[in-house]
Every structure is written in structure tokens, then in C-alpha cells.
Structure 1
Amino acid sequence: MSRLILIIIFFLISLLAVFPAPAYYFWLLAILVTEFPLLFVAIMVALLLAGLKFQKYQVACLITGVAAILLYLSPIYRAAAIGRALKADMTTAFGTTSEITGEPFSIMKLFKATADVAYKTHTYITYADTALTLNYYPSQLDGKKPCVIVVHGGSWAGGDKDQLPGLNSYLARKGYNVASIDYRMAPKYTNPAPVLDIKEALKYLTTHADELKIDTNNFVLLGRSAGAQIALLAAYTLKDNRIKGIIDYYGPADMVWGYSIPGNPWIMDSRAVMEAYLGGGYDKVPENYKASSPLEFAGRDAIPTLIIHGRNDVLVAYEHSRRLDLKLEEYNIKHYWLRLPWATHGFDFILNGPGGQLATYAVESFLKSTTQQHSPPTPKGK
């Protein structure tokens, strides 16, 4: 009986591979379920094998266990299907992808560990009441290279530049400089303070470009969640021709619509989070919501945009990306929306999971095309 109960529990957990999480801790579990699927498959197989010598509840255990295994495997075969088309899709949207080695998705890569690149911390701006720093991951290839400025998530009030460093190291090994920045946060600071911080980071990186080996004509912004809203807004409003593209990981693009449809309170009080960032509710400061919505500025002069979002995101609604995609399509802006049907918020915490692999491939393809890095790079020391 206890084995049947365990199998039922893991079957219920497997539902997180296809349905949104109902509460905060289930959301955290959903990241593991969808990005470490083989771990859960192994647990279920072990439970099934452990009961082969018992006859009681055997049929119920087998049916429930097999159903759970198929659900756990669903991110893998869905990722494989998306991966088969991703290279062609990225080429159609942006151009060059032929120089990128490897496939968008590989089952073998699920078992691969990632290697870190050493970084240095720099203070990039000192205000009267605070100083802001960035972690700088230098390109592991010789010469002046493009720079990716990474803006962390955290509901505009938390998180820091140390968040999700795996992609930073990966891009550095591929020949990109990466600057992961801190910025001024709510509730003490409100929009547009973080956007102005990105402007200061650009200024610092440009001033120190020679020592940091940065190609100052090739910056790309990358943001996650709240950081994606900041990065999108900076990309569309700073009008800086050195910024060649923007990568949006599950960012809130329409702050007005987002406030009107509050999220699941068992996950996060989304309205309270937005009020802290924008200085009040929509009824009090409607102009702040419009001014902080990247969607409002995604016009005919918007820059190339890569959107990455999981349909089962329970913190930032998938609808934000759909609206941004339609707006960019309306103005014929180069863009691509990588849709991940199984993925939830923060799926890229696991770089080599099904969603992590596809997103990383899309990011590398986007950087290759938007920064025009078409010649084979030379490794350091060669």
C-alpha cells in the first residue's frame, strides 16, 4: 500500500510537467520536474521495479507509474520537436546560425555539467547614497568582443548580479564579454531609476573598453523577469545605437495590462510588487504604468528582440510575451518568440535542462546575428 501511495504522489508531481503550479513551493518543484525530468523518471522506475514481486495493487501501480513516466518525459520530446525547427526559425528571423556548433537540444547534454569562468567585480557608478557594482566575465577568446549586459530578476526589489551565473560563463567561453549588473531597487527607488543605471553601466563599460576588451559598437541587453522589463525599456527608450539587441526572458512587457489582471496570490502578490516599483496603484499613478511598459515603446524604431517564455509561467503571465510579439510583428521588427509549452518561471536556472538548452541556443544564435560575429574566433593563447 505504501508503494502505491508513493507512486500516486509522484504521479501528482508529474502533473507539474503539463499544468501550472498552484502555489509557491509547487512552482519551485515545477522547475525541477521540467528541467531534471530524467531524475524523476528514475525515481518512478525504481518504485515500479521495487514491487515486481508483489501482486497486490500491481495493475494500479503499473498504470499510474507508466502514466507518470510519460508525463515526466514530455518536456524532453517536446523540446526535441522544437529543437528540430529552431535552427531554421532563428535563421529566418535573424540570419546567421550556421557557425554555431551543436544542436539546439540533445538528450546527452542533459547529463553535462557546466564550467565556470572567473569574473571580477567593478563599481560602475557611485551615487550620493549608494554605489552599484557589476560582475564582469571576460571573453575567453582574443580581441575586442561584444558585451552582453545582464539585468537580474527579483520583482524589482530583490535579487542581485550573482543570479543564474551559468549562462554568463557559457557566453564568455563562446567569445562574449558579460557584465551582470546590480541596479537600484524598490521600494526606495522607482522607475526609471534602474533604466538610468543601465545607461551608467554602458558609460562605464565604454570608458573602460580598452582594458576590458569590449567592442563598443556591439552591446546586447539581457534581462530576466523584472530585469527583462528594465532591459526592454532601456533598449527601446535609450535610443543608443550601440545596443544591437535585447533578450527578454519572461519579462512583463505590458505593465498596465499586468496590473489589471493580478497573479495567483498563493504564488505572489503581483499588484503589491508593481505598486512598490511604480510608487502606487494604477488608480493613483497611471502615467507611471504606461511609462514603464516596454510595449508602449516597441514601435517602428525598436531594435531586434528575442523573447523567451514558458507557457506555464505562474509569476509573469505568458500573455505579456504574446502582446509584445504582436506589437513587434505589427511594426515589422526583427524578432523571435521562443515558446516553451512546459516551462515555468526561472526554468533557465538549469542551463542544460530541456528549456535551458533551447534558450541558450536561441541566445547564442541571436548574439551571433545581431553583433555580426561571423568570422571564426581565435582562442586565447593561439
Structure 2
Amino acid sequence: MLRLILLILLLLVSLLTIFKAPTYHLWLVAIMAGEYSLIFIGATLLLLSAGWWSAHYQTIGTIVGVLALLLFIYPIINAYIIGKQLAANMNKALSSPIQATHFAPFSFTKLFTNVSLQSYKTFTYVSYPDTTLTLDYYKTATTGKRPCVVVIHGGSWSSGDSKQLPQLNSRLVQAGYQVASVNYRLAPKWQSPAPVQDVTAALHYLRQHADELQIDTTQFVLLGRSAGAQIALLAAYTLKQAGIKGIVDFYGPADMVWGYSIPAPKLVMDSRRVMANYLGGFYPAVPQNYQASSPIEFVNSQTVPTLIIHGANDVLVAYEHSRRLDVKLQQNNIPHYWLKLPWATHGFDYHLNGPGGQLSTYAVEHFLQSVTH
């Protein structure tokens, strides 16, 4: 009986690879189910093998276990299939064929490995009358002035910091890029467009110190996650700075007006209140603030190349944001690529060597080579 109960629990967890999580805590479980699936595969196989010694509920338990096993394998199979065509698809979409990166888009053996973290230095990049902001600078060992990736963290515009998800920063440094992970002013004390102003200040600081930091000031790429992606997109699309070569958007809200109309489930996040705290009020009390903070409104024929990365099971930022941005970029003939991850949820890249983490890391490096070559 215990075996059957445990297998049923595993089946329920495995369903999070194909269905959206209904609550905040199940969303966290969904990240585990999709990106740490090897753990669940091992547990399921162990319980299935125990059926040989247990006659009670053996058949039903085995059926349940096999279903769970197939669903836990689903992200890995999907990642393998997507990975086989990823380089060719990106070259075609970006109209800038490049040589393959130094690693495959997806490797089964990499699921068993960890990412070694690189050291960084923290610098104060701007001082306001009421606060001081810092950035964490990861310097590559590659000699000469190098392109710089400016990373903007997530956290619903009200939390998080530059220490968030450092694994990708380390990988990019190893690949020969400088990385600056930026802190910005947080809501509700500071509201839009304060974070974009902070990104502007960070870029100014990096340019001023380009010689000592070994930065090629003609080649900046902005990278943001979630709320940070909205900030990065808005900065990349509105700042008239020739040195910004591209933007990497990890599951960012691109259409704030539409996004307010379709809120996240309340048991996951009160997204309307989150937006109101950032934009100074609920819609439609301040419609101009929602429009002014919607990156999609600023896409035009001069927009920089864009990499969109989004999981179809995202319950915090709707997948539709990325579809709408993709359409707008197509209409304006902007080189871009949308990496779609059918099983993945918000924050899937927490595990950089999981199925989604591997594909997104490859896509980011491929994109960087394309726009900074």
C-alpha cells in the first residue's frame, strides 16, 4: 500500500511537467519536476523495482509508476529533440550563421554535473540622494577588451538582487564575456522608470571604466529574467545607445497592459498588486504608466536583435507575453529567436544543467556570438 501511495504522489508531481502549477508552492515543485527530473526518475524506478517483492496492488502501482516515469522523462526527450535543431534554427532566424559553440545544446551526461562559480568584484556604480547602487563584476580570463553582458535580476520589481542565479554569469565568463550583474531600485519605494534609469547609470559607469574593466564599449548585451527582463527589454528598446547590440529576455512581461487583464492565479501570485506597486496604481487609473512600461510598444525597425526564452507552463508570467513580442518583432523584421520549452515553468533556469537550463545556456551563447561577432 505504501508503494502505491508513493507512486501516486510521484505521478501527481510528474503532472507538473505538462500542466501549470495551481499554487505558489506547487510552482516550486514544478521547477524540480522539470529540471531535476533525474531525481524523480530514480525514485520512481526504485519503487517500480520494489513491486517484484510486493504482491499488494502490484499491477495498479506499476501502471501508475510507469505513467509517472514517462512524464518525468518527457522534459529530457523534449530537450534532446529541440537541441538537435537548435543551432540551425537560430542561424536561420538571426540571419547570421556562426560556428557551433564549444558545447552541445543538450547532453544527457551534463544532467549529472554542476557549474563551477567564478569570483567577482562589487563596485558602486551610482549614488542618489536616498540610496547607493552596486553591481557585481565578473571578469573573464580572455585577454583584451571583450563584450559585456549586463544582467538584470528578477523578483517582481520589489525583491531580488545581483547575487541571483550566478551560474549563468560564470558560464558566460568562461566563454570569454565580461558580466555585470546589476542592482536597481525596488518597488514600491521606487517605481518605473527608476530601474531603466539605473540601467542607464550602470552602462555609463561601465563605459567610464572600460579600460580597467577591459570592456568593448561597442558591444553590450542586456539580459534579464522575469521583472528584470521587462526592465532589460524596455532599456534595450528605448535607450538610444549604439553600443547595445542585443537583448536576452528570460520569461519577461512584454505587454504590461495586456498582462494586467490576464492576472496570474491568486494562489500563485497577486500579479495585479505587484504591477500596481511598480507602476504607481491599478489599471486603468494610470494607463499611461502601463503603456510606457510595455516593451512591446517600442518595437520598431531599429529595434536590436532579441532572444526570447519562455516555458509554456509558466504560471507567473504568461507565455502569451512572448508570443505577442515574437509577432511584433516579426512585423518589424527584427532578427530574433524564440526558444520555446513546452515543459518548463517560471525560473526553470535555476538548474543550469537541467533540460531547460542546458538549452537556454546554449541559446544565450549562440545569440551572443551572433550579435557581438
TM over 0.5: yes
Q: Do 2:87 and 2:100's aligned partners in 1 also have CA atoms closer than 8 Å?
A: no
State the alpha-carbon separation in 1 of the partners of residues 141 and 50 from structure 2.
Answer: 48
Farther-moved stretch of structure 1 (348-357 vs 100-109): 100-109
2:358 matched residue in structure 1? 357
Deviation at 1:102, TM superposition (A): 2.0
The aligned amino acid for 1:92 is: K
Q: Provide Cα deviations, 1:263-304, integer angstroms capped at 9, x if missing partner.
A: 100000000000000000112100000000000001111100
Question: 1:62 aligns to what SS in structure 2?
Answer: helix
Say yes or no: does 1:248 pair with 2:249. Answer: yes
Identity of aligned pairs, percent? Answer: 60
The one-letter amino acid paired with 1:360 is: T
| Displacement of 1:99 | 4.2
CA distances 1:98-137 after superposition (whole Å, capped 9, x unpaired): 1412211110111111111110000000000000000000
Which consecutive unaligned segments of at least 5 residues does structure 2 have? none
Which moved further from structure 2: 119-128 or 46-55? 46-55
Matched to 2:300, the amino acid is G
Partner of 2:148 in structure 1? 147
Structure 1 unaligned residues grouped into runs of 5+:
373-382
Letter in 1 for 2:154: G
In structure 2, the partner of 1:92 is 92
1:251-270 aligned at under 5 Å gives the runs 251-270=252-271
C-alpha distance in 1, partners of 2:118/2:5?
44
Q: Is the CA contact (8 Å cut-off) linking 1:311 and 1:318 kept in structure 2?
A: yes
Deviations 1:165-197 (A, max 9, x none): 000000000000000000011001111110010
**CA drift at 1:148:** 0.2
Matched with 1:43 is 43
CA RMSD of aligned residues (A): 0.7
Equivalent pair of 1:104/1:358 in contact (CA under 8 Å): yes
**Aligned equivalents of 2:98, 2:62: Cα separation in 1:** 44
Query: Deviation per CA, 1:213-240, whole angstroms, max 9, x where unpaired?
Result: 0001000000000000000000000011
Give the corresponding residue for 1:68. 68
Asked whether the 8 Å contact 1:140–1:174 carries over to 2, the reply is: no
| Secondary structure of the structure 2 residue equivalent to 1:355 | helix
| Pairing 1:105–2:133 present | no
Normalised by the length of structure 1, the TM-score is 0.96
| Distance in 1 of aligned mates of 2:372 and 2:355 | 26
Secondary structure of the 1:55 match is: coil
2:317 is matched with 316
Distance 1:102 1:116 in 2: 18
Asked if 2 retains the 8 angstrom alpha-carbon contact of 1:300 and 1:333, the reply is yes
Distance 1:107 1:218 in 2: 33
Distance (whole Å) between structure 1 residues aligned to residue 67 and residue 242 of structure 2:
52
Output one character per residue of 1:277-334: Cα deviation in whole Å (capped at 9) or x when no partner.
0000112100000000000001111100000000000000000000000000000000
Please tell me whether the aligned partners of residues 236 and 246 of structure 2 are also in contact (alpha carbons under 8 angstroms): yes
Structure 1 stretches (4+) deviating beyond 2 angstroms? none
Deviation at 1:140?
Answer: 2.1
Aligned counterparts of 1:340 and 1:70: Cα–Cα separation in 2: 17
